[in-house]
Amino acid sequence: MLKLSYILLFVLIIFGCTEEKKDSFSTIEVQVTNRQLLDSLIIYDKEKSWEIKSTLRFKESNTALDTLHIMENKLYQIYSFIDGTQGELGEFIMSPNSKILLSMNENAPFDSSNYTGSFELPNNFLAYSKKYQNKLSEMVRKGISQEELEILIQDNGNSINEKGMALGIVDTLQAYVKEKFDQFSGVLKKKNTKYLYKASLVNTLGNGFSFKDINNKNISLTDFKGKYIYIDVWATWCKPCKVEHEFLKELEEYFSENDALQIISVSIDREYDKWKKYITSKSMEGIQLHSGSDSEFVKFYDIGALPRFLFLDTKGNIISPDEIRPSNPKTLKKLEATLNGMLAKK
Cβ–Cβ < 8 Å for 259, 291:
no
Query: In this structure, are 313 and 289 located in the same domain?
Result: yes
Query: In this structure, are 125 and 65 located in the same domain?
Result: no
pLDDT score, position 20: 45
Residue-wise pLDDT for 3-27, tens only, equals 444 445 454 444 444 444 556 789 9
CA 292 to chain centre: 25
Phi, psi of 67 (to 5 degrees): -105, 125
Residue 230 sits in a domain whose CATH number is 3.40.30.10
Percent with pLDDT over 90 in the chain: 84
Query: In this structure, are 10 and 38 located in the same domain?
Result: yes
Query: In this structure, are 215 and 296 located in the same domain?
Result: yes
Query: In this structure, are 235 and 324 located in the same domain?
Result: yes
Question: Which stretches within 202-235 are classed as H helix?
Answer: none
Residue-wise pLDDT for 177-208, tens only, equals 999 999 999 999 999 999 999 999 999 999 99
**Mean pLDDT of all residues belonging to the chain:** 91
Which one has a higher pLDDT value, 10 or 119? 119
Q: Give the 3-state secondary structure of residue 56.
A: strand
Query: In this structure, are 273 and 308 located in the same domain?
Result: yes
Rounded Cα distance between 278 and 214, Å, is 10
Mean pLDDT, residues 308-335 taken together: 95
Query: In this structure, are 71 and 94 located in the same domain?
Result: yes
Residue 66 sits in a domain whose CATH number is 2.60.40
Query: In this structure, are 145 and 243 located in the same domain?
Result: no
Mean pLDDT, residues 263-284 taken together: 96
CB-based burial, 63-82: b 16+ in 10 Å, e otherwise: ebebebebeebbbbbbbbbb
Picking from 85, 118, 151, the residue at the C-terminal end of a domain is 118
Cβ–Cβ < 8 Å for 235, 241:
yes
Which pTM does this prediction carry? 0.74
Query: In this structure, are 101 and 186 located in the same domain?
Result: no
Closest CA relative to residue 134, chosen from 119, 152, 116: 152
Query: In this structure, are 170 and 216 located in the same domain?
Result: no
The yes-or-no verdict on residue 256 having pLDDT over 80 is yes
pLDDT score, position 15: 47
Q: Which helix (H) or strand (E) holds 162?
A: helix 146-167
Cβ-based neighbour number of residue 105 at 10 Å: 16
Counted domains in the chain = 3
Query: In this structure, are 98 and 143 located in the same domain?
Result: no
pLDDT score, position 1: 46
- 290, with CB counted inside 10 A (0-12, 13-18, 19+), is buried
- 249, with CB counted inside 10 A (0-12, 13-18, 19+), is middle
The yes-or-no verdict on residue 173 having pLDDT over 90 is yes
What letter would DSSP give residue 224? Answer: G
Picking from 148, 170, 201, the residue at the C-terminal end of a domain is 201
Cβ-based neighbour number of residue 225 at 10 Å: 14
Closest CA relative to residue 222, chosen from 104, 103, 316: 316
pLDDT score, position 277: 96
Torsion of CA 245, 192, 156, 28, to 10 degrees: 10
Query: In this structure, are 98 and 125 located in the same domain?
Result: no
Rounded Cα distance between 342 and 18, Å, is 69
Cβ–Cβ < 8 Å for 15, 173:
no
Picking from 64, 84, 118, the residue at the C-terminal end of a domain is 118
User: What is the C-alpha radius of gyration for the chain, rounded to an integer number of angstroms?
Assistant: 25
Domain span at residue 152?
120-201
Residue-wise pLDDT for 128-158, tens only, equals 999 999 999 999 988 899 999 999 999 999 9
Identity of residue 268? I
